[in-house]
Amino acid sequence: MKSFPILNEEQTDSLVVNTLQWSLANGLVMYPPNFQQYSADNAPISLFPTPIPKSSFEDAINIQQTYNELYSNVITKDKKWLVQNIEQLSRFDKDFTGKLFDIYKTLINENGKVPQPLSLGIFRSDYMIHEADNNQIKQIEFNTVSVSFGGLSTKVNQLHNYLNKSGAYDTDYSYKYYDDAEIPISSSIDDIAKALSIGNYYYNGEVENDKTVVLFIVQPNERNSFDQRHIEYSLINNFGLKSVRLTLEEVSDKTTVNSNKLYLKQTMDEISVVYYRSGYAPTDYVSEECWKARLHLENNVAIKCPSILTQLAGAKKIQQILTNKQVLETFLPDLSETELEKVLSTFVKIYPLDDSEEGKIAKQLIKTDPGNFVLKPQREGGGNNIYKEDIPSFLEKLEEKDWGAYILMELITPPIHKNKLLRNDQIFEEDIISELGVFGTILFDESKGDIKYNETSGFLLRSKFSSSNEGGVAAGFGCVDGVYLY
C-alpha cells in the first residue's frame, strides 16, 4: 500500500487552490446553510483518495446485483410476509411508517392493487471494512429511497484523477502518484440517469419516448441539489429526457391526474417516473398537505422510484430479519450455497429487541456489553442512532413494549487512516474512517415478481473523523472521498 502523498507546505497550498477551483468549475459543490441561489461552496471532500483493499471493493461491487434481486424478491415473493412486518412496525411508528403504510392500504382498497406494478429501485448498499475480520465488507444498511451522492461521488473521483494526472500529488510536480486503475471513477451519475431512462422506457410500453418527463420530488431549500443536478444533466444529455423538480408542497398545485396518468399542469407534460429525493423522513412531511401530495403521486400509473413498499422494505428491521439464513434462503432460492454464504458474510450480528430468544439475548447484551453495539430506530438520513454506553439509559426511558421498534447492531471497526479533509479552505488532518456505498439500479414488476433490469451503478466513499459517531456529509460531519485500491 502506498502512503498518502507527502507534500511540503507550498505544494499543499497549491493543491488546495487547484482543488477549490476544480470543484467550483465542475460542480463539486453544495449550498452552505442559509444560502442564496447564486452562491455555492466547494463540497467537503478529502484531498487524497483513501486506501481500500481491492478485494474488499470488488466484493462489494460483485454482490450488488444479488442485493438488488434480494430486495426485489422481498417485495414481490411473499407480500403477506412483508406487509405483516410493516404492519408491526407501523404500530410502533404510527406517524411515519404507519402513514406510509396507510397510503399503501388506500391504494389497495381503491384499486385492488397498486396502480402501476412496475417499480424502479435506485438503491445503495453501505459497508464498512471490518478490519478484525480479514478486511471483509460488512453491511451498515441497505438504502431503498432517496440515496444521495451518486452525483458528487463521480465528481470527487474525477477531481482526484485530475490532481493525480496533473502531477499535484507528486513532490516533483511531474509524475502520477497513482496508476489510473488504482483510483477508479464511479459511473454513478450516468448509471443513475440511465436507470431513470429505463423507467421512462418501460412506462411507455418498452418504447423510447422523449415526450414524457421525469419528476424529481425534492426538499425545499435542498443544500445538496447539485448532487441531483448532475443526474438531471446526464438524463437530458445522454438520454434526451427532461426532468422537473417539485417539492411535496408544490405537488397539488402543479400536477394533475387525468385518466390515471400524472401530468404537469402548466405544460401538460406527462410524467413517466416520480423520483423521490424527499419523502424519506418525517421532517419531509411538514403538513398534512405533504401526505396528501404523496398519496396523489402514488395513485396513478407513473412509475415510482421507489414505490411505497420498496421504500418500506428498506427498514432496518427488514435488514435485521434478513440476516437469518433460513429467511435469506427463502428470498434467494436460486443461489448456490457458496453464493448464499457470500451474502451472509456481509452481515454483522443484528438483534431484534422483542420477546424472541434473540431478543432476550440482546436485552442481556445491552446490560453486559453495550460498548460493542449501536441501537437503531426505523429512520433514514443520519443522526438517529444511539451508541454504546448511551443505549441502556436511552432504553430505560421507554416502555419495554416499545423496544421492538429498534434493532441492536454489532459495531463494525474499520481501519483508520490519516487523510486530509477539506472543508471550505480549511484542512483537517485527523484519523478518519470510511464507509463504502455501492449503487444498484433495478426495475421490477411488483405484482408478477419478474426483474426487467438489474445493474450495479457505481460507488461512493464517505469518510468522517473516527471520533464522530456518524457520517452524514450533508448533515455536516463527513466528507465525500474517493478510493485508492491496493
* 3-state secondary structure (DSSP) of residue 30: strand
Q: The C-alpha cell of 149 is what?
A: 451522492
Q: Is 18 annotated as a binding residue?
A: no
The verdict on whether 400 is a catalytic residue reads no
Any binding-site annotation on 342?
no
- Cβ burial, residue 319 (10 Å; 0-12/13-18/19+): buried
CA distance 193 to 453: 14
Q: Is 431 left (phi over 0), alpha (psi -120 to 50) or beta?
A: beta
Report the residue number, 12 or 384, with the smaller CB distance to ligand ADP: 384
SS3 315: coil
Burial 448-483 (b: 16+ CB within 10 A, else e): eeebebbbbbbbbbbbbbbeebebebbeebbbbbbb
How do strand 426-429 and strand 350-352 relate by DSSP bridges? unpaired
Confirm or deny that 222 is annotated as ligand binding: yes
Establish whether 94 is a catalytic residue.
no
**Residues at the interface with ligand ADP (CB under 6 A):** 126, 128, 140-141, 348, 374, 376, 380-382, 384-385, 409, 411-412, 435, 470-471
Task: Tell me, yes or no, if 87 is annotated catalytic.
Answer: no
CA distances from 216 to 145, 231, 459 (A): 13, 11, 21
| Catalytic option among 23, 42, 68, 143 | 143
The verdict on whether 124 is a catalytic residue reads yes
DSSP structure string for 265-297: TTT-PBEEEEEESS-SSGGG--SHHHHHHHHHH
372 is in an annotated binding site: no
Q: Is 260 annotated as a binding residue?
A: no
Q: Minimal distance in Å, beta carbon 472 to ligand ADP? A: 7
User: CA 285, CA 278: separation in Å to the nearest integer?
Assistant: 9
Residue number with CB closer to ligand ADP (155 or 376)? 376
User: Which of the following is catalytic: 56, 69, 90, 124?
Assistant: 124
Q: Which of 194, 294, 304, 376 is flagged as catalytic?
A: 376
CB 338 → ligand ADP: shortest distance, Å?
Answer: 25
For the CB of residue 376, give the shortest distance to ligand ADP in the complex, in Å.
6
449 annotated as belonging to a binding site for a ligand: no
Is residue 455 part of the annotated active site? The answer reads no
The verdict on whether 141 is a catalytic residue reads yes
Catalytically annotated residue among 182, 249, 250, 380: 380
CA distance readout (Å), 380 to 25, 47, 350, 373: 32, 28, 17, 18
Check whether 404 is labelled as a binding-site residue.
no
Residue 99 is assigned to a ligand binding site: no
**Whether residue 397 lies in the annotated active site:** no
Minimum separation from the CB atom of position 151 to ligand ADP (A): 18
380 catalytic? Reply is yes
Apex CA 48: angle with CA 45 and CA 54, to 5°? 110
| List 316, 404, 420, 463, catalytic entry | 316
CA angle 247, 263, 259 (to 5 degrees): 130
Tell me the C-alpha to C-alpha distance, in Å, between residue 67 and each of 63, 119, 186, 408.
Answer: 6, 16, 19, 22
Closer to ligand ADP by CB, 51 or 478: give it. Answer: 478
| Residue 273 is labelled as binding a ligand | no
Q: How far is the CB of 371 from ligand ADP (least distance, A)?
A: 12
- Residue of 23, 68, 119, 148 marked active site: 148
Work out how close the CB of 263 gets to ligand ADP at its nearest, in angstroms, rounded to a whole number.
33
Peptide bond just before 5 cis, omega within 30 deg? no
> Of 381, 388, 452, 469, which one is the catalytic site residue?
381
Query: Would you say 434 and 414 are in contact if contact means Cβ atoms under 8 Å apart?
Result: yes
User: Of 69, 141, 232, 270, which one is the catalytic site residue?
Assistant: 141
* Closer Cβ to ligand ADP, 115 or 381, answer by number: 381
Rank residues 435 and 455 by Cβ distance to ligand ADP and give the closer one. Answer: 435
146 is in an annotated binding site: yes
- Cell readout for 434 is 470510511
Q: Which is nearer to ligand ADP, 40 or 409 (CB)?
A: 409
Nearest-approach distance from CB 143 to ligand ADP, in angstroms = 7
Task: CB nearer to ligand ADP: give 121 or 471.
Answer: 471
Residue 245 is among the residues annotated as catalytic for this protein: no
Cβ atoms within 10 Å of 404's Cβ, excluding its own: 18
In order of 137, 278, 449, the CA distances from 72 in angstroms are 22, 21, 8
List the grid coordinates of 432. Answer: 478518519
Indicate the residue among 163 and 409 with the shorter CB distance to ligand ADP: 409
The torsion of the CA quartet 87, 93, 99, 102, rounded to 10 degrees, works out to 20
Q: How far is the CB of 246 from ligand ADP (least distance, A)?
A: 24
Q: Which residues are catalytic?
A: 124, 141, 143, 148, 316, 376, 380-381, 462
